[in-house]
Amino acid sequence: MHIFLVAKRLISLKTDLRTIPESYQQLPIFFDGKNLFLAAIESTLKMLETIEKPIETMSETSSIDWDYLQKFCSQTRRDIVRMTNGVNSGHPGGSLGCTEFFVAMYNVIMKHDPKNFTMDGIGQDVFFLSNGHISPVWYSVLARCGYFEVGELATFRKLNSRLQGHPATEEGLPGIRVASGSLGQGLSVASGAALSKKLNNDSNHVFSLHGDGELQEGQIWEAAMFAVAHKIDNLISTIDYNGRQIDGDVDDIMPLGDLHAKWVAFGWDVLEMNGNNLQEVVDTMNEAKNRSGNGKPIMILMRTEMGQGIDFMMGTHKWHGVAPNDEQLKQALAQQEETLGDY
């Protein structure tokens, strides 16, 4: 055991272990544990290769496969309308509007490992969905990125399913770290998680997504002050600014005023983007990552169209929480190509 402790100590001293095997070949044969020590070093090197290897996303490669991302979006939209139609319930409108955002986040922006999901998310970026009712888009992207089997999408909102209408942790669905859907709570959760990463010297980011109607909840603004007061500058939050909520247009229910000015006044670094343009989403999220670590949390105002990609679902709040019937499903699927294979 002491030999492995020596190897561990060498790591802490940032010793280049790759030079050690050659050096220790020169040790006299009577050196106690020479062969075992070399074996320990080789084992440690293999372990380091696993630990130190970055979790690759497309943004870390020489080029982004935009055609694949577009196909991913098309398939995700098919999943959304099929999932909600299958149980005649759910929230397709906001899910369709946020498709490009989720596809970009999990394929390009975030550092994450679907095969080694942990609740703590140590050494990885973590994501929290505050407006949990748009779970269909999240489930689709999680499944198609490898968090769980794509076929499980067929269980959406069914009894004993892990894929409930609002994300939950009780059944241990990989990718989900907190139950959500009680609007207003997600920014508090994300702020706490991001602060925890800073205290633990974890340099990764915490991302969160919120609805614009959700900003009518007072807890959002408490969390906004908290994040600034504690300089939580590894937090990147996004608002789905589609201007619609379940009862109508946001401006008719409770106008939000100048959101950009509000968040700036609260002390946040504010960016804006078109959430239905993949290139703009990728560019803006990368810009946000580059601007993190400067003492301020970052808020992104993301303009989207509820129901994006399905013509009869766009331009209205009607599809916030209404599933398409069988005839409407046929119309919707005719507008989105099957690219990655239906579940």
Average pLDDT over residues 288-311: 98
pTM: 0.84
335 dihedral zone (left: phi>0; alpha: psi -120 to 50; beta): alpha
d(CA 217, CA 71): 36
pLDDT band (50, 70, 90) for residue 301: very high
Q: What are phi and psi of 264, to 5 degrees?
A: -65, -45
Instruction: Specify the residue for token string 């309308």.
Output: 81
Domain ranges in the chain with CATH number 3.40.50.970: 58-333
82 or 13, greater pLDDT: 82
Q: pLDDT tens, 45-85?
A: 444 443 344 455 665 545 899 999 999 999 999 999 999 99
pLDDT band at 181 (very low <50, low <70, confident <90, very high): confident
In angstroms, the CA 321 to CA 245 distance is: 9
User: For domain 58-333, which CATH number applies: 3.30.70.100, 3.40.109.10, 3.90.650.10, 3.40.50.970?
Assistant: 3.40.50.970
pLDDT of residue 28: 42
What confidence category does residue 33 fall into, taking pLDDT thresholds of 50, 70 and 90? Answer: low
Output the pLDDT for position 39.
55
Structure tokens given for 287: 């810009």
Phi, psi dihedrals of residue 95, rounded to the nearest 5°: -65, -45
